[in-house]
Amino acid sequence: MAPSQGRVSDFEARYVKIERALSAMSMMRIAVAGTGGLARLIAHFIDQETSHHVVFLSREEKPHLSESNQVAIIDYSSQQSLQFALRGIDTVISTVTGADQIELIKAAVAVRVRRFAPAEFEGPPDLRPQDDPLDRGRTLARQWLSHYAQHIQSTTFVCGILYERFQPGGLRQARIGLASLVSGEGDYIMDCRAMSAEVPCYDANSDPNVSICLTAAQDVGKFVCKAIDLPQWPPEMRMCGQQIKVKDLVALVQQLKGQPFNPIQWHNPDSLRSALRLAAVQQDKATVLRLQTLLATAEGRFCFGHCNLNQSLPEVKTLGFKEWFERKWGLV
């Protein structure tokens, strides 16, 4: 007896679903836009843990990278250059922001790239206010991706604050966040060498309950690597190495270093806004950016729940802050 038309359709639907899943797990060409520290970590884990092929997108030649990876020299002002570099690419992981990223998104859509992860890697976007001075064009990039949602999948990787802010040399030592102007040692909450601190631990109600989520950069690389093979990308992929109250983080560092922070300033949103006004009058751009990041912390913008990547990828064992800090500062 011949199967009914409905059963044939069900079989075909299951076959197509399986075929797509197998296709997603086969070898793919992954473009990593940028050559900074986070881009290199992501590429490293893709190389080490998958069969996928990594292509760095770079504005200039990188001989030390091209020894082990393909490096495509691109011109972000030229759609022809970008589209040529992206032909045959399945997924783009971006670590570049601003107008360059917008042009990259346009090119990815034009050559039918399947997936695009924009440069985020901080707190959840929905916690950022309109006209956020720390945005650096990221909201516009997500708007472009939303506009082209029928043509390209996208997700936002959320990881909170990187542990590397608190290492010797700060984020800059890891070649991460150089364009942010707040990537140096001591630019965020604590200078763990000089043992000075500006601590945004009080919320708008003057309660010392401000918390942050933190993740080691190497764990971000591992999570992104594993996420490439997920059959579906949700709008956000959240990861976290440790969630902790800011005041407890400061106390932990004092304990590990065996000395107190001196001087130390305790802040709430109002005191940070007052300091911001003074820095703006003095046209001290570096201080303005540093204080804006502290204000974002006091407003809870780097604290989040439901870390779906931790739940869906339990094989990624994250590093706790204490163990990481002891390694970086030679305390073990």
Shared domain check, 275 and 179: yes
Number of domains in the chain: 2
Range of the domain at 179: 161-214+241-303+314-331
CB distance 164 to 216 below 8 Å: yes
Q: ∠ at Cα 171 (104, 128), nearest 5°? A: 60
Shared domain check, 259 and 324: yes
| Angle separating helix axes 269-281 and 285-298, nearest 10 degrees | 170
Shared domain check, 206 and 136: no
Region of 27 on the Ramachandran plot (φ > 0 left; ψ -120 to 50 alpha; else beta):
beta
pTM: 0.91
CATH classification at residue 318: 3.90.25
CB distance 281 to 191 below 8 Å: no
Helix (H, G, I), strand (E, B) or coil at 240: coil
Distance CA 264, CA 198 (A): 6
Give residue 235's Cα distance to chain centre: 14
CB distance 171 to 183 below 8 Å: yes
Shared domain check, 143 and 198: no
Shared domain check, 92 and 69: yes
- Output b/e per residue, 121-160; b: 16+ Cβ within 10 A: bbbbbebbeeeeebbebbebbbebbeebeeebbbbbbbbb
Q: Is residue 84 part of a domain?
A: yes
pLDDT, tens digit only, all 332 positions of the chain: 333 333 445 655 454 454 445 445 579 999 999 999 999 999 999 999 999 999 999 999 998 887 788 999 999 999 999 999 999 999 999 999 999 999 999 999 999 999 999 999 999 999 999 999 999 999 999 999 999 999 999 999 999 999 999 999 999 999 999 988 899 999 999 999 999 999 999 999 999 999 999 999 999 999 999 999 999 999 999 999 999 999 999 999 999 999 999 999 999 999 999 999 999 999 999 999 999 999 999 999 999 999 999 999 999 999 999 999 999 999 98
Distance CA 259, CA 173 (A): 24
CB distance 170 to 184 below 8 Å: yes
Distance CA 173, CA 171 (A): 5
Helix (H, G, I), strand (E, B) or coil at 161: strand
Q: Is residue 231 part of a domain?
A: no
Shared domain check, 323 and 201: yes
CB distance 312 to 150 below 8 Å: no
DSSP string, 66-106: HTTSEEEE--TT-HHHHHHHHTT--EEEE---HHHHHHHHH
Closest CA to 176 of 184, 1, 168: 184
